[in-house]
Chains A and B, each alone.
Chain A
Amino acid sequence: MTLLQIAFFFLSALALASAILVITRRNAVHSVIWLIVTLFSVGGIFLLLHAEFLFAVQVILYVGGIMVLFLFVVMLVNLDVAVKQAQFSRQWQLALATAIILMAELAYGIYRGHQGFTLAQTSAVPPTIGNTQAVALALYQDYMLPVEIASVLLLVAMVGAVVMAKRKLE
């Protein structure tokens, strides 16, 4: 077992364990903390996959931005009552069964299908430019249009959040 494989197993185990903790914790603040751990381990996986730029995005944007927003809201809405109440909805057995079937199906498919990924293989030449540069080139050349649409999307998110959360609109 190589060092890389050990790193992979460590990060995956950490990501999965904390993901399970996210959905089982009573207190939403704890869930947020565990989600942050998951996000960090997924960031580590990105590093293993030579996606350094995405690692930075994951840490700065996801952990530093989105999760802080979550924490704000968790603390803003009063959760003292929710902690003492039942945590799972009434149809949870049914939901769990569905999810397990789904997982078995997906795992089976991936186990059987992993050899199938050979046909779309492109060049095995290591990239000549750095990861960040490659991402930037793709983003502003091949994918210019989605970047422009995403700008409207973020504007909508801003306007929408103000409309919904402002105390009184004039």
Chain B
Amino acid sequence: MGTTFFQRADYVAITPEVVLALFGLGILLIDFLIEEKRDKYLNAVTALIGLAMAFVQLLRFWRGTLLPMPYSGFGGTLVLDSFAIYFQSLIVVATAVVVLISAKYLEIEEAHFGEYYALLLFSAVGMMFMASGRDLIVLFIALELMALCEYVLTGFLRGDRRSNEAAMKFFLLGAFSSGLLLYGMSLLYGLSGSTNLAVIAERLADRPAGDPLSWMAMTTLLAGLFFKVAAVPFHQWTPDAYEGAPTSITAFISVAPKAASFAILLRILMAGLWPMREDWKLLTIGVAVATMTLGNLAAITQTNIKRFFGYSTISHVGYLLLGLIAAADGNPEGLTAIAIYLLVYTFMNLGAFAVIIMMRRQNLIGDEIDDLSGLMTRAPGLAILMLIFLLSLAGIPPTAGFIGKYFIFLSLIQTQHYVLAVVAVLYAVVALYYYFRIVVAMFMKNPLDSVPLATSTGLSVALGVTLTLTLVVGVYPQPFILFAREAVRPFFSF
């Protein structure tokens, strides 16, 4: 203790987060000054400017013009490597798309308040630190920042009982899982005498094989983390929170926090618990298979589209966990697969939600699968877009979803997990079936109502962005694969 601890460069390294936090504060102030209700979109514009600035800064980090890469700051509690920047960029872009699809929806729900955008930005701050933290304390406090924002946003429609209940359940299970996570972290600190992941990895390597304490630390820690990524058997909050939350927030929590939670999971497992990889690989195999099974089978019978996407998310989490199994065998392609899958999943899922959110109109909740009936006759362009997103979610070439699944299968085959690969392919067929239920509703059934869809400029832009990425990654994936390979390099160079 007692030496100099931070320099100017340390603060340069957190500029994107600082910008977002300042814009969040700014929105709270601006919202105060806006008198006309129809001027509330100014908050959304402010949020977008902040996100754009953060994104530009992240691009400069990526090119390495501002700081030497990888940069370790704040006494080693923060590390800005390609992995962190990749996930931070993904989080920023996903949050921006969510802002785009929110404005119109909130207006219809009569809940267009500045706090909404401020909380989105604060939540993004937490998620970005989840990607760049290398210390248990930073990771924990960042995770809680994200989680608290999520709870409030889920319950944002205060007059709606479903929103209240969803927030309550999400909160109780989330706080409980944080408790489990913390217990694991406390044991990990006891095992290593440090909260730094690099030191933890060193000390864990010295522990005897089959040491019960490190095993306990790992299982409680993993239980907490599996809660956050919604893996079976810790998935119960997902369908409820998805159904009750405002649709724009359902879109948000299905992508950005998912990416951040995977970032923290990968960081802890790959950088901290790497010496125990044989143990967590076994656990992950069981959890991944259970997650795919439950997610895919439960999605078949859903009638509510938000709930349906809850289970669909769970099944995608199952696929993502498979990549982790390949990574545990020392195959970098497993992590590349996770990185590229998350990128792809973020945009196809947001695209699908951008269509679903248009079903919410004045006096019409529009969150049943039947509400999409006859979309082809009412808005052919939109129906085609939804079809593309669904094909991508099911993993059909030449859409982006195929690239994600392809890399997962490839990494499994490279590490000789043939049985898992076969199981994963079989469940992909099941997924095809339930995604086509929606297609059938859109193309073969007759419309239930004739109320015009809720469109807006923001929604069109969001659809444009998500569609472009879904198609471009599918047709010309090489640059994205290179990005993903670069992103996971930090874990395989030590």
Contacts and interface: CB of A to CB of B under 8 A. Distances in A.
Given A156-B122, A160-B149, A108 B212 contact: yes
B126 interface: yes
Contacts of B484: none
A61 interface: no
A141 to B, nearest CB: 4
A109 B213 CA distance: 6
Contacts of A120: 190-193, 203
Interface majority SS on A: helix, strand, loop or mixed?
helix
A109 B141 contact: no
Contact of B148 (A105, A106, A117, A153): A153
Interface in A100-152: 105-106, 108-110, 112-113, 116-117, 119-122, 137-138, 141-146, 148-150, 152
Contacts of B77: 142-143, 145-146
B113 interface: yes
B193 A157 contact: no
Nearest to B149: A156
Given A117-B190, A120-B192, 18 more contacts: A113-B211, A117-B191, A119-B206, A120-B190, A137-B2, A142-B75, A144-B75, A145-B77, A145-B78, A145-B135, A146-B141, A153-B126, A153-B144, A153-B148, A155-B122, A159-B118, A160-B119, A164-B167
Interface string B129-142: 10001010110011
B203 A156 contact: no
B212 A112 contact: yes
Nearest to B32: A170
Interface in A3-36: none
A146 B125 contact: no
How many A residues are at the interface, by size bracket? Answer: 20 to 34
A150 B141 contact: yes
17 contacts: A120-B193, A120-B203, A138-B1, A141-B1, A141-B75, A143-B135, A149-B125, A149-B126, A149-B141, A149-B142, A150-B141, A152-B125, A153-B148, A156-B122, A159-B118, A164-B152, A169-B115
B494 interface: no
A152 B212 contact: no
Nearest to A120: B193
B491 interface: no
A60 interface: no
B313 to A, nearest CB: 24
A34 B6 CA distance: 44
A163 interface: yes
B492 interface: no
A160 to B, nearest CB: 4
B213 A113 contact: yes
B193 A122 contact: yes
A159 B133 CA distance: 25
Pick the most buried of B75, B125, B156, B213: most chain A CB atoms within 10 A of its CB.
Answer: B213
B436 interface: no
A113 B211 CA distance: 7
Nearest to A113: B213
B176 interface: no
Contacts of B152: 156, 159-160, 163-164
A116 B158 contact: no
Contact of A156 (B73, B145, B191, B193): B145
Contacts of B151: 160
B206 to A, nearest CB: 6
B155 interface: yes
Given A120-B192, A149-B129, A159 B119 contact: yes
A164 B152 CA distance: 7
B6 A152 contact: no
Most chain B Cβ neighbours within 10 Å, of A112, A156, A160: A156
The 8 closest A-B pairs by CB, nearest first: A113-B213, A120-B193, A160-B152, A109-B212, A145-B74, A141-B5, A109-B216, A153-B145
